[in-house]
Homo-oligomer: A and B are copies of this chain.
């Protein structure tokens, strides 16, 4: 079967021929339909993040997939069921985090991630997976199923943010997304269409004529050009916000988030930057965190419950917006374009088989 693999840090993704996998007991065989591409894929390709499977000399990419069950292989799934696979897998038999359905909380070394760390991904005509990691998705949403994994990342981040503010009455009505890449824009759409924040902001460093900036307005948000208004000046220029969602990986943003937050606000951090030393007014940030009960949370990955919530969310996003996201789906033969599309295409994905 055809697959897209890379030797991380040493080359570009290539179309390769691999044997079609046979499902083990408890696994189903899935025919792949579409697989999305995100910043993590580009970091893996560049060799900045992730790892080859043991003994492998290439990694099959892809962690944002939707497929259809080809062979249930005795599991509770049915042939023809559309499914979205979760990403993390047990590194070995016993693992308390996986046992309780929280692989997203497992520390480094206690998981592999398909298409990222130590396990092949879903960019192949077929893949196998234990049935417990295959989340059913309704047929009408299957064409957009490659959006479920990124949405699930935000579902988790918001669940943790809300939990962190659950010891008091918290009624956020303003939110700021740092980053207008695919995850930032999807999150902005969730803030506007599903969570119904009164006021939303989205920060980027692109000109106002850029299509992704136009999307910010169309979604109902206010665009903030970080070259004109740094994060710390957003309260003076616009307002201090109840929730900040950081999706840039720009480490200074993690600290500036404290200054952008309103009292009792929470910032969720999702970027994964490289080491970078810089000066901060640590005294002021510390004081501000304390005197105004602010919180900063890091969150990574997501579990099956977040995928299920993401499917509900996907159904609530405006059609015009999901159509915009689906406009970047490329046929397998044009897979290189999916990796090389400029940032004017909001989101790209590769189609392995028609939905």
Q: Which of B107, B252, B291 is in CB contact (< 8 Å) with A282? A: B252
Question: Is the C-beta of A354 less than 8 angstroms from some C-beta in chain B?
Answer: no
Indicate whether A292 sits within 8 Å of B167 (C-beta atoms), given known contacts A251-B283, A283-B275. Answer: no
Binds B, one of A71-79, A295-303, A312-320: A295-303
Q: Assess the B278–A279 pair: CB atoms within 8 A.
A: yes
Residues of A131-170 whose CB lies within 8 A of B: 156, 159-160, 162-169
Q: Which of B275, B287, B296, B300 is in CB contact (< 8 Å) with A273? A: B287
Task: List chain B residues, Cβ under 8 A from A56.
Answer: none
Task: List chain B residues, Cβ under 8 A from A251.
Answer: 282-283, 285-287
Q: Assess the B293–A289 pair: CB atoms within 8 A.
A: no
Task: List chain B residues, Cβ under 8 A from A160.
Answer: 164, 167, 293, 295
Give the shortest distance, in Å, between A173 (CB) and chain B (any CB): 13
Give the shortest distance, in Å, between A170 (CB) and chain B (any CB): 9
Question: Is the C-beta of A210 less than 8 angstroms from some C-beta in chain B?
Answer: no
Task: List chain B residues, Cβ under 8 A from A167.
Answer: 156, 159-160, 162-163
Q: How far is the CA of A350 from the CA of B255 in the complex (A)?
A: 41
Cβ contacts A164-203/B at 8 Å (1 or 0 each) = 1111110000000000000000000000000000000000
Q: Which of B107, B280, B300 is in CB contact (< 8 Å) with A278? A: B280
